Structure 1
Amino acid sequence: MTWQSRRAVDPLVASLPAFRTTHPGIDIEWTARSLAGFEFEPVEQLARRYDLIILDHPFMGDAARKGYLLSLDEAIIGKDSDYVGPSLATYRLDGHTYAVPVDAACQVAVFRPDLMQRLDRPPPRTWREVLALGQVAERQGLKLAIGLASVHSLMTFFTLMAGLGQPCATSPDEPFCDGPAASEALSLMRALLSFCPAQVLDWNSIKLHEMMVAEDLFAYCPAVYCYATYAEADQRKPLRFADLPGAARPSPTGSTIGGTGLAIAAHCSSPDAARAYARFAARAQTQLDFARHHGQPARIEAFADVAIDQTFGGCFSATRATLEGSWIRPRYAGYLGFQEHGGQLIESHLRGDLGEAALLEKLRTAFAASGASA
């Protein structure tokens, strides 16, 4: 089971002929779910029906507590230095690693080069510059953009908090956030919204990229989970990517890392066959091939490959510093419930339905209670 995007499906399907060459007795059939399913559908349920699962790392705490994924050893997954940034570290918890990183992503900036040329501005390096760009765009009849539907609001809040040097807690036993920094982060989000259409509160990452390609209106977005495939030449208006603008200074640190990993269900009836594919998927050559089929691999070799980088409009070289300095969000058992609820709360605040003080109190209360709900 993977998730529905050519970035996710095509590389896995394209890898199968090469895998069958060396493993002729093993066959794999991939099925895909929506992005919302990828973000929230319990992996425990998927692990009852599927052997191989592409998942997000916040599920690690739940998996470690309940034991529904197999632990993978270093002979399969390799070392941290084999992958860009903390990609591998995101799947390690309590001394065990539960997935092979097959896709790397974090929140970075994305822009339309033709519209930025009209504005005669380079990509901003700070959020202060982002807001200045918004004023220039407004005078030209253009807009800024961002995707803030539910969980994406929380991810942007996380990123800004880490960029301000006050990252949110990763354990429910700790206070959720610093009050003054949270107020500043929310202020930046509200200020950005003044240069965006209201519907960005309904957009997820995929919708954000699609709208920027389809409509000649959105010049720049400061923070979105990168889909490098929207920079490929077959897009109507190929996008370009840049490092995350710094919240406090021109430094692309603190972006909330995403990406995906390949995990094996504990119930798997053919664990040796599943491990063989996981080992194959972790190879540098396999992940280089992923990139040749719209994939966004996590192996460091793919980020160093000039030809692959050019295929994606320079995305990998333009955003590598952000990935290297990214932040790992909470992964404790029970976190996923907070992630969904917390995103809804921040979205409600940004819609004007919940005041800042009430929002922060509800976030703190929900975060503290989330560990007990696992």
Structure 2
Amino acid sequence: MNSQKDFNEAFEFHSGVRLRNRVVMSPMTTVQSFFNGTVTEDEIAYYRERATGVGAVITGSANVQDGGKGWPGELSIAHDAQLPELTKLASAIHDGGAKAIVQIFHGGRMSEPDALRGKQAVSASAVPAEHRDPNVPTPTPRMMTVSEIHETVKAFGDATRRAITAGFDGVELHGANTYLFQQFFSPHSNRRTDEYGGSLEKRYRFIDEALHEIFKVVQANAKTPFAVGYRFSPEEFTNPGISFTDTHYLISKLIASPLDYLHLSLDDYKRVSIDPDYQGKPILNYVNDAIDGAKPLIGVGGVRSREDVNNVLENADIVAVGQQLLVDPYWVQKLINGADDEMVTADFVKAIEYVHFARPLYDFLVARYQSIPNV
């Protein structure tokens, strides 16, 4: 277990990217981009405001291929034509004093039909995702060919080059929340019998190839420190699915790579595993034990107070804050200044009414939190 850390002290990654403190903005969906994934002025203003206190902003998911677009309104980093607006976004985050990290991803079988405009989603195998409601059917994706896998690996490298060109300080690979990297690693979504499926080693191959491509691009193009991180979900609820034992293997491979950090994806940092062999303490603690100081760990999940920050930092090097920053953009400054009594504490259904949001984001949040708009 790590000793207690001061959230307001600077932190430097192996690459040389230096954060002014140990609090980062967690990647969140905002549905604010244009239909083609181009950054909007509303999106730039949203990130600029929330960059004023954190050490780094990790943007919401940016697709690396049109066929990997997850939902309408999603950011894209798939084309050079998007570089001018991406550059403005990175600059806006820098204006707030934070480092700018763009999360790059491919939706795979989780891509919404509306986002793909009728085209069939692709995945590791032709296995549909399981909906929480068994009566709700989900589309069956098409299994990617080996050549398509190679093209997607290259697309992640190309996206990284664009991030460097646009002035971002890093990229985070979205290997969580059942998107494409996780789909390849999961025995539920990956039923392949070729070199990309079967054993843990083969199911990890797509991740490994993407990492190699990205690091090659960074070495060839980055003239200043540039960080690369990886976000992952610790387990799946499906059977078959990723077990905590599988995650131990994943962690062992990731910490052997040149990655700057690992970012755990959790909705609650106190969450306990569904695996009876790992229920003695929260998942975050077990993951921290598995990493054992080999890489910085970003902990996350329901952080809203000073107590939450300190609790996370007992088992992580950096704390990521999502929804609290959504409704309380200057929350980090309140934390630093001891103004805890000024923090927004209302539940999110009510709290979204406290802050001005551009219409697409506001409507998205109302639907998400099942709130009633004040009109």
**Same fold? TM cut 0.5:** no
Structure with the largest fraction of helix:
1
- The TM-score range, normalised by the shorter chain, is under 0.3
Comparing both chains, which one has the higher relative contact order based on Cα–Cα distances under 8 Å and sequence gaps of 6 or more? 1
Q: TM-score, normalised by structure 2?
A: 0.22
